[in-house]
Amino acid sequence: MSSYSDAINKYDPVLGLETHVELSTKSKMFCGCATDFGAEPNTQTCPTCLGLPGSLPVANKIGIESTIRIGLALNCTIATYSRFARKNYFYPDMPKDFQTSQYDEPLCSNGYLDVLVDTEEGSKNFRVEIERVHLEEDTGKLTHAGGATGRIHGANYSLVDYNRAGIALVEIVTKPVPDTGEYAPLVAKAYVTELRDLLRGLGVSDVRMEEGSLRCDVNLSLTPKGSKTWGTRTETKNVNSLRSVERAIKSEIERQAIELNNGNTIKQETRHFQEDTGTTRSGRSKEVAEEYRYFPEPDLVPIAPDSKWIEELRSQLPEQPSIGRARLAKEWGFTDLEMRDVATLGAVDLIAETISFGASPSAARKWWAGELARKASEDGVDLTVLKISAKDIARIDVLVTEGKLTDKLARQVIEAILIGEGNPDEVIAKRNLAVVSDDSALLPAIKEAIEANPEAAAKIKEGKVQVVGVIVGAVMKKTGGSADAAKVRELVLKTLGS
């Protein structure tokens, strides 16, 4: 028995997720600075997002509308009166030493998101209830310097880039999710996947976990089976890929179960997920409780959405991802199971994009859910992180269809793209990978193969054409698989006058 099934046999996990989404507004939430990812340090800053003395915030309308749209898509109630609040704590990445956020008056509350998970009894629906959706601002980015590890511990000093400070950040908080049993890690992963697709469908965020525009904190507690009271929960931060969501919950279930089995209590604390080991480690425990001294932000006036505005935003919502997927499955000719696989992998949008670049649906699925999913899993990353685009895959598919690449060659092209050798055509040129169907290039190899297999050649000449495979095989081996087999066959027969 694994420690995981042991844990699940004794305890019921209760999970909760806090997801931070960076909105893709053109300008920051409270000032006009640009939000481009990867810009030169501190070039996207102004008095307001640097918190300079005297500066004031003005709320970005699209930021507010995006938050309301997220709330509507998550079946939330939209507040008729909502205020920003200041969350007061000191930290060098926060220019004002308070974060403009929302406290007891979030824009949206009480919603839900349904997710499907494959269980032993087949596909099962889990309803994840949403506590609140609120709007706040992001912090600056710290780089730790002078230490050996580049981590905060052991660093001699840190450097701050405030380009990210003030970018609109939406926080989506679930209610505690009980009764998921052994499927807790899968439910969490399905929730984040579904949420990501929903946000992308809304067009409110890039939702790139690898760039930090979608970030997850995972809360988890264990309840002994049969007990009614929930255990003490931990909050795990830094869970920044779909795969990590699943792994973090699994490992935290195992860790807490061991603690409880040993008669220890669970400490209410913040933990950090470590990608390399797949486990969580304890954060520096705070000797005193947090005291954020929230109060209504006097520099920003209340938001009071009227029903006309809300209904207008509601009417602009795209279809729900699950409905969208059913439509796409039909359109693409995928079975329900195929579609669910693709969704679990987070590949729906990638496939759609690949198809838009001219690939066939089945080929797009074959590559993303096959070769590339395997690669991503090997590297322990999400599909979207792979350094290959939908456009590349579409091009490869076209080349295969035209007979210019074999499947085997296509896999080599993909390998090369993933390690940064360029686009498909560049890789083919550089590595000389195109299918050889040119007579003059093939004839020497054919001649050599015939000479090496005199018996087979003789039989072919006698009309026993079925033996041709021996020589074709030899030619293919000689050319490293880059030859067009049909063409080789035709040339061998022609050469032997059969």
Partner 1 sequence: MSRITREEVANLARLARLDLAEAELDEYAKQLEIILESVAKVGEVATADVKPMSHATGLVNIFREDKVETSLDREEILKSAPATEDFRFRVPRILDEE
Partner 2 sequence: MSDLTKLSAFELSQQLQAGSVSAEEVTNAHLDRIEELDKKVQSFLHIDKTGALKQAKEVDSKRKEKQKLSKLAGVPLALKDVLTQKDVPTTCGSKILEGWLPPYDSTVVKNLKNAGIVILGKTNMDEFAMGSSTENSAYFSTKNPWDLTKIPGGSSGGSSAAVSAFFAPLSIGTDTGGSIRQPAAVTGIVGAKPTYGGVSRYGLVAFASSLDQAGPFARTVLDCAMLHEVMAGHDPKDSTSINQRVPDVVAAAQMQDVKGMKIGYIKELNGKGWQPGVINRFNESIELLKSMGAEVKEISLPHSIYALATYYLIAPSEASSNLARFDGMRYGLRVDDGNSSAEEVMNKTREKGFGKEVKRRIMIGTYALSSGYYDAYYAQAQKVRALIAQDLTDAFKEVDVLISPTSPTTAWGLGERVNDPMAMYLADLATLPPSLAGIPAMSVPIGLADEDKLPVGLQIIAPFMQDDRMYRVGGAVEASLKSKWNGLLIDQIPTLGGAS
Give the interface with partner 1 as residue ranges (CB under 8 A): 25-27, 31-34, 40-47, 50, 58-64, 83, 90-93, 139, 142-146, 152, 155-162, 270, 272, 283-284, 286, 288, 291, 293, 295-296, 298, 300-305
Select 293 or 330, whichever has its Cβ closest to partner 2: 293
Cβ nearer to partner 1, comparing 95 with 111? 95
Q: Is 300 in the site for partner 2 (CB under 8 A)?
A: yes
Q: Residue from 43, 47, 143, 443 that binds partner 2 (CB under 8 A)?
A: 47
> Is 26 or 267 the residue whose CB approaches partner 1 more closely?
26
- Number of residues interacting with partner 2: please give it, by CB under 8 A: 29
The entry of partner 2, partner 1, none that residue 51 binds, CB within 5 to 8 Å by partner kind: partner 2
Compare residues 104 and 407 and give the one whose CB is closer to partner 2.
104
334, interface contact from partner 2, partner 1, none, CB < 5-8 Å by kind: none
Q: Which of partner 1, partner 2, none has residue 122 at its interface (CB below 5 to 8 Å by kind)?
A: none
- Distance (Å, rounded) from C-alpha 201 to C-alpha 224? 39
Beta bridge partners, 436, equal 483
Residues 266/229, Cβ–Cβ less than 8 Å: no
The first and second tokens of residue 110, run together, are 């009480």
Q: Which residues contact 457 (CB under 8 A, 6 or more apart)?
A: 450, 471, 496
User: Smallest distance from the beta carbon of 52 to partner 2, in angstroms?
Assistant: 7
Between 52 and 337, CB nearer to partner 2? 52
Query: How many of the other CB atoms lie within 10 Å of CB of 293?
Result: 11
Asked if 152 is part of the footprint of partner 2 (rule: CB under 8 A), the reply reads: no
Q: Decide if residue 203 touches partner 2 (CB under 8 A).
A: no
Closest alpha carbon to 328 in 310, 355, 305: 355
Which region, judged by CB under 8 A, interacts with partner 2, from 3-11, 54-62, 125-133, 431-439? Answer: 54-62
Among residues 232, 243, 236, 476, the alpha carbon closest in space to that of 376 is found at 243
Of the pair 55, 270, the CB lying nearest partner 2 is at 55
Cα 459 to chain centroid distance, Å, stands at 58
List the single partner that 53 binds among partner 1, partner 2, none, CB under 5 to 8 Å by kind: partner 2
Q: Which does 45 bind (CB under 5 to 8 A by kind): partner 1, partner 2, none?
A: partner 1
33: partner contacted, choices partner 1, partner 2, none (Cβ within 5-8 A by kind): partner 1
Question: How far is residue 72's CA from residue 89's CA, in Å, rounded to a whole number?
Answer: 31
Q: How far is the CB of 316 from partner 1 (least distance, A)?
A: 16
Which residue among 122, 263, 298, 463 contacts partner 2 (CB under 8 A)?
A: 298
CB of 171 to partner 1, least distance (A): 14
Convert 280-346 into a string of H (helix), E (strand) and C (coil): EEECCCCCCCCCCCCEECCCCCCECCCHHHHHHHHHCCCCCHHHHHHHHHHHHCCCHHHHHHHHHCC
Count CB neighbours of 91 within 10 A.
Answer: 12
Amino acid at 326: A
**Cα 112 from Cα 461, distance rounded (Å):** 74
> Residues 284, 293, 430, 464: which binds partner 2 (CB under 8 A)?
293
> What is the Cα–Cα distance from 210 to 194, expressed in whole angstroms?
17
- Interacting partner of 244 out of partner 1, partner 2, none (Cβ under 5 to 8 A depending on kind): none
Rounded to whole angstroms, the Cα distance separating 209 from 239 reads: 9
- 55 touches which of partner 2, partner 1, none (CB within 5 to 8 A by kind)? partner 2
Residue 123 pairs in a beta bridge with 118
DSSP state letters, 74-107: TTPEEPSSB--EEEE---TT-TTSEEEE-SSS-S
Among partner 1, partner 2, none, the one that 34 touches (CB under a kind-dependent 5 to 8 A) is: partner 1
- Is residue 351 within 8 A of residue 368, CB to CB? The reply is yes
Q: Which of the listed partners (partner 1, partner 2, none) does 346 bind, with a CB threshold of 5 to 8 Å by partner kind?
A: none
| Binding segment (CB under 8 A) for partner 2, from list 93-101, 250-258, 347-355, 379-387 | 93-101
Nearest-angstrom CA–CA distance, 271 and 254: 14
Residue numbers at the binding site for partner 2 (CB under 8 A): 47, 50-59, 86, 88, 90, 92, 95-98, 158, 160, 291, 293-295, 298-301
